[in-house]
Amino acid sequence: PLISRNRVIGVLGADKGKSEGRISQEDRDYLFSYANQIAVALDNAKLYHDINASYMRSIQSLALALEAKDSYTKGHSERVTRHATEIARRLGLSETECERLGQMSMMHDIGKIGVPETILVKPGKLSPNEWDLICRHTTVGAKIIDPLHLPKNEIAIIKSHHERIDGKGYPEGLAGEEIPIEARIVSVADAFDAMTTDRPYRRALALRDACRELRVNSGKQFDPEVARVLLGLVEDGSATPARVIPIHQHRTVGS
């Protein structure tokens, strides 16, 4: 038996094959020692998984709490996640890949926790220093999730979702397929939700205008295939914009 913390967590089987006679005591001792090592390894793996899962849930909760403070972005991550996972399915990503994409999409803007609220809700043009702080949210977010030791393509969802196909994005100026497909998907989903919701610096675009922006910037800012899939989702009603915030709810810095 594989025993950990006084619980049986598995069984190690051994077969002598064509050998005759009983298993020797030496072999028994070896098997018991091997079973104990396996049990410890399995228990440690489960503990590591549980700690990672708990940390990820904490980050997701923090991301949602950050959004809840701002009526402009409340619900943004859920919508981005919904659009991104549906795009991923249409592109043929596996269900496991879609699930992981969804988990990371919920945290794609977690790095904005390091950006002052006055900048996030500023109605006017950002100064160069303010824009620099905004741009840092991708690398700050990547550092926040660093303890999870995630695969590069999952980290890229947070770090690279503001990269552009033409190489003019940030933080690294990646271009084309240098940008992992997961980040290219979230980039389009993120931009679509941003365009179709009110922001402090502009009103929401009409759906037809947002779709026009996706087409115009396809191959420049956006991956053409990803943009095409999202446009298809809009056409069949699978991707719909959020409710527009009434004008009387608009706020200014400090309100």
Residue 2: domain span:
1-14+21-68
Give the CATH number of the domain where residue 91 resides.
Answer: 1.10.3210.10
Are β-strands 7-10 and 2-4 bridged in parallel, bridged antiparallel, or unpaired?
antiparallel
89 and 143, same domain (yes or no): yes
Query: What does each of the 255 residues of the chain score in pLDDT, given as a tens digit?
Result: 777 777 777 777 777 666 666 777 777 777 778 778 887 788 777 777 777 777 777 777 777 767 766 666 778 999 999 999 999 999 999 999 999 999 999 999 999 988 998 998 898 899 999 999 999 999 999 999 888 888 999 999 999 999 999 999 999 999 999 999 999 999 999 999 999 998 888 899 999 999 999 999 999 999 999 999 999 999 998 888 774 333 333 333 232
105 and 34, same domain (yes or no): no
Domain total of the chain: 2
% helix / strand / coil in the chain, to the nearest 5? 60, 5, 35
Beta-carbon contacts of residue 13 (< 8 Å; ≥ 6 apart): none
Residue 254 belongs to a domain: no
Please give the structure tokens belonging to residue 90. 């249409």
Contact call for residues 196 and 233 (beta carbons, < 8 A): no
For residue 2, the surrounding DSSP H or E stretch is strand 2-4
172 and 232, same domain (yes or no): yes
